[in-house]
Amino acid sequence: MALPAEPLPAPSLPSFDLEEELMDLHGLPVAGIDEAGRGPWAGPVVVAAVILNPNRIPEGLNDSKVLTPQAREDRFAEIIATSCVSITIGQVRRIDRDNILQASLWGMRAAFRGLQVPQAAALIDGNLVPKRFPGGKARAIVGGDALSLSVAAASIIAKVTRDRIMVKLAKRYRRYGWESNKGYGTPEHARAVREHGVCTHHRRSFAPIERALRIMNERDEASPVAET
């Protein structure tokens, strides 16, 4: 006879434990840092840094990827109202010039400086601390947006900010469906690139866009020139 299935453990929520550990270690406020938009074919990468007020931490903070759009918007407003927030936008030209990783690391340094808190430590989502990070008191945390409330807050700020940018761009560049795909390489987006080519907000250093440009150039070169 089959044994009854054991209930799965409830997923853990981010906490303020890592922040308290760093605050005890350095005696400094702690910023959470996260980015949104490393993977899309179009649009900027957005990095946010957030220092939560320990006495006014908004309810319901979590990794932005597990929240509904409306929950993200609600949390965004609460974080802005109660916390110290800095946002940096890495435009496409920087991504194409430096590569997406370097643009993201630049954004982390810039967002941290933008907090204008002379002395602070940082928890950074991922496995890298940017070189020449201001103050040098930073810790990289893989999956930090699911572990740290400050990083979760930063993930929400970055995600909502970038989504708003892409929805705004979608009104000017209607063919690509950015209001729904946010610039990611969905089948809809890929089909639009094949049919209509690329625009100034596409990341030309990304392989699918680079390939689309090459195909377009080859097609143009193969087209017969009309006689005058």
pLDDT digits (tens, 9 = 90+) for 180-191: 999 999 999 999
* Confidence band, pLDDT 50/70/90 cuts, at residue 11: low
Expressed as residue numbers, the domain containing 209 is 174-221
* Separation CA 167–CA 178 (nearest Å): 6
131 Cβ neighbours under 8 A, 6+ residues apart: 105
Q: What string of DSSP letters covers 74-99?
A: HHHHHHHHHSEEEEEEE-HHHHHHH-
Radius of gyration of the chain measured on its C-alpha atoms = 21
What tokens does 100 get? Answer: 């997406």
- Judgement on whether residues 55 and 164 belong to the same structural domain of the protein: yes
Of 22, 1, 44, 18, give the one whose Cα is nearest residue 201: 44
User: How far is the C-alpha of 49 from the C-alpha of 107, rounded, in Å?
Assistant: 10
SS3 content of the chain, % helix, strand, coil (to 5): 50, 15, 35
Q: Which H helix or E strand runs over 22?
A: helix 17-26
Structural domains in the chain (count)? 2
CA distance 153 to 166: 20
Where residue 221 falls among pLDDT bands split at 50, 70, 90?
Answer: low
Both 31 and 144 in one domain: the answer is yes
Do 42 and 130 belong to one domain? yes
Q: Are residues 115 and 146 in the same domain?
A: yes
Reported pTM: 0.90
Res 4: pLDDT: 45
Please check whether residue 85 lies inside any domain of the structure: yes
DSSP assignment, residue 64? Answer: G
Same domain (yes/no): 100, 195: no
Beta-strand (E) ranges in the chain? Answer: 30-36, 45-51, 84-90, 121-125, 138-141
Q: What is the pLDDT of residue 217?
A: 77
User: Are residue 146 and residue 180 in the same domain, yes or no?
Assistant: no
pLDDT for 84 equals 97
Domain final residue, candidates 172, 187, 206? 172
Same domain, 135 and 180: no
Show Cβ contacts of residue 94 under 8 Å, excluding neighbours closer than 6 positions.
103, 106
For residues 120 and 45, membership in a common domain is answered with yes
Q: Indicate whether 77 and 113 sit together in one domain.
A: yes
Same domain, 96 and 160: yes
181 in the same domain as 168: no
Residue 110 CA to residue 55 CA, distance in Å, equals: 26
**Higher confidence at residue 226 or residue 103?**
103
- Give the pLDDT score at 6: 46
* 125 and 68, same domain (yes or no): yes
**CATH number of residue 133's parent domain:** 3.30.420.10
Residues 120-179 have pLDDT tens digits of: 999 999 999 999 998 879 999 999 999 999 999 999 999 999 999 999 999 999 999 999
**Segment 81-116, tens digit of pLDDT:** 999 999 999 999 999 999 999 999 999 999 999 999
**Residues 16 and 29: beta-carbon distance below 8 Å:** no
> pLDDT at position 225, please?
52
Is 37's pLDDT higher than 70? yes
Diameter of the chain by CA atoms?
86
